[in-house]
Structure 1
């Protein structure tokens, strides 16, 4: 079976690299490696998300679902210095990189955690238990529609009442069908931006 960026332990031999993320309000230098998502450059969808979303809440706990080596989580943390940012991923190599990138860029309010196994919810008081004041994600579309829906259902349910999730998905990878699924499952959703084929979807949590 071919390796995937969502494998817990990537089989690809290490080949360290560095990328930069330059936004109007911040500049991050990020270590990357083979076996993680978009190791050669910050993914365009991620960049469009970060250039589009409004500032995150400056209090509470914020979530980056599928954090990879950390560009979204570290941007959230820089933009909301009084919030606690939690990055979640299955890929241990990516999590190690994200922790190193937080330290190297002087970001103290972000932490990175392995996603719990299915059917094994986090303990009360865990940083992964929520509730989350916001969720930003370039979600792992390639895990398949059924797995993606199950993943999103779990984490979206941990948002605070009225909190927003912003998701970036390319139209050719199912953005519009994901929009429909969110609406059909009782999650009011709107497309707030569209650029280079990417849709930015904002969904609001209501218990």
Structure 2
């Protein structure tokens, strides 16, 4: 059976590597491995997101949904040293890498949790408490796992975007040819108003708010 980065425990043989995240304000060399999303380099969509989002609120609670080995969460933590940053992913290998990367850069205010597709903690190790996953979150940044399929993706977004504060904003990056425009329409229909705020290299960045 083919292994995917959204498997909870990928059995691909470990082959540790690194990937450089280079942004105008930040340069991180991150530990990666097989069985996680984009192990050889930081994905272009992630870079588009990180180069276009507004600064995160310092002092708030911030979420990286589908954190992988941590490029988004660690950028949040670097840009908002007074915030509490949480990265979540179903992939235990990816979360272990994200924790290692956070330790190496001294970003103790970035914490990571392995969660089920429904957003519940798996409880396999001491991580953020279950109540921390409930938010509410002042900002959500995500390169969501589109390839999990619409049903799983929609359930995930309903769960986590529903944990935004009333004034919180989520920024999602989605490839145009993988359904960015149809996802925007679906979000609007769910009472989660979505606005396209950037478009570059075949990617859309959507700003999503909770409906009133």
TM-score category of the 2 structures, normalised to the smaller one: over 0.9
Question: What is the Cα-based RMSD across aligned positions, in Å?
Answer: 1.7
Q: Is 1:21 the equivalent of 2:11?
A: no
8 Å CA contact 2:9–2:93 kept in 1: the answer is yes
What secondary structure does 1:201 align onto? strand
Quote the residue 1:73 is aligned against.
73
After superposition, the Cα gap between the structure-2 partners of 1:124 and 1:13, relative to the gap in structure 1 and judged at 3 Å, is closer
Quote the residue 1:38 is aligned against.
38
8 Å CA contact 2:120–2:130 kept in 1: the answer is no
Q: Distance in 2 between matches of 1:204 and 1:78?
A: 24
Q: Is 1:94 the equivalent of 2:94?
A: yes
What secondary structure does 2:113 align onto? strand
What secondary structure does 2:132 align onto? coil
Aligned length: 207
Quote the residue 1:62 is aligned against.
62
String of CA shifts for 1:116-148, please: whole Å, max 9, x gaps: 463858998622110000000000101001110
TM score, norm. by length of structure 2: 0.93
Q: Distance in 2 between matches of 1:121 and 1:2?
A: 25
What secondary structure does 1:98 align onto? helix
Divergent runs of 4+, >6 A: 121-125
| Pairing of 1:25-174 with structure 2 (within 5 A) | 25-116=25-116, 118=118, 120=120, 126-174=131-179
After superposition, the Cα gap between the structure-2 partners of 1:31 and 1:125, relative to the gap in structure 1 and judged at 3 Å, is closer
String of CA shifts for 1:11-41, please: whole Å, max 9, x gaps: 1100000111111111111000000000000
After superposition, the Cα gap between the structure-2 partners of 1:121 and 1:30, relative to the gap in structure 1 and judged at 3 Å, is closer
Q: Distance in 2 between matches of 1:121 and 1:155?
A: 13
After superposition, the Cα gap between the structure-2 partners of 1:204 and 1:73, relative to the gap in structure 1 and judged at 3 Å, is same
Structure 2 unmatched runs, 5+: 123-127
